[in-house]
Chain A
Amino acid sequence: DAGITQSPRHKVTETGTPVTLRCHQTENHRYMYWYRQDPGHGLRLIHYSYGVKDTDKGEVSDGYSVSRSKTEDFLLTLESATSSQTSVYFCAISESRGFNTDTQYFGPGTRLTVL
């Protein structure tokens, strides 16, 4: 299994509070991603990173920000949590150094509940 951890694994918070989720990898992979999973939608990309300090938006980035100051860590921040951000959040990594290396490996997920 790819070395990916997410913290916390579960969190309950209140509307309007800031929340930060952490993804940590030990694989030294270049690409990191944050997805959210909601019933009937599969997984949807929030933000991704293609290197230290290099990030970009995905399809559902509103209300989220990210930072990557080290290769191994990718942080997802909800600046002011809303109930619509209640979801399961998955981090993924990929090596992407060339052909046939773009398999993505997923972390165990973080279940976030916003009351």
Chain B
Amino acid sequence: AQSVTQPDIHITVSEGASLELRCNYSYGATPYLFWYVQSPGQGLQLLLKYFSGDTLVQGIKGFEAEFKRSQSSFNLRKPSVHWSDAAEYFCAAGLDTGRRALTFGSGTRLQVQP
């Protein structure tokens, strides 16, 4: 079955520190990959996406993600975290066939310490 795993439920980092959020997928073929961010009480905002090509993808708000086929991973990174980055982050995957719905990971809640 298709699945997306985010191993870290909760991460706390200090403001200014670097960040890496992990995401692994299990699909028969390479899926489209996404990272979304959800601030408290808000909807989901797309940070970045990977369809093909360059495996290092740049997104909004200074985020980037690297696709590693050998590890079935799509980890999200940011070199210097800001307090406003505190939110929940969701990795998602989908295919360009069939229903095209996304499979989401369970999310990682990021807390930023001053």
Interface residues of A, Cβ cutoff 8 Å to B = 31, 33, 35, 40-45, 48, 50, 56, 58, 90, 92, 94, 96, 99-100, 102-109
Contact = CB atoms under 8 A, between A and B. Distances in A.
Contacts of A31: 100
A42 B43 contact: no
Given A102-B32, A102-B94, A102-B96, A40 B106 contact: yes
Contacts, number: 61
Contacts of B99: 45, 48, 50, 56, 58
B17 interface: no
Interface in B71-111: 90, 92, 94, 96, 99-102, 104-107
Given A94-B100, A99-B96, A100-B51, A109 B46 contact: no
A54 to B, nearest CB: 11
B46 A103 contact: yes
Contacts of B106: 40-42
B63 to A, nearest CB: 16
A45 B103 CA distance: 8
Nearest to B32: A102
A111 to B, nearest CB: 9
A9 to B, nearest CB: 10
Contacts of A56: 99
Contact of B101 (A42, A58, A99): A58
A102 B100 contact: yes
Interface in B1-42: 4, 6, 9, 32, 34, 36, 42
A48 B49 CA distance: 21
Given A102-B96, A103-B34, A103-B49, A90 B44 contact: yes
A109 B43 CA distance: 6
Given A42-B6, A42-B104, A104-B92, 15 more contacts: A42-B107, A43-B92, A43-B104, A44-B104, A48-B100, A50-B100, A92-B102, A96-B96, A99-B51, A100-B51, A102-B32, A103-B46, A105-B46, A106-B43, A106-B44
A100 B42 CA distance: 26
A69 B36 CA distance: 30
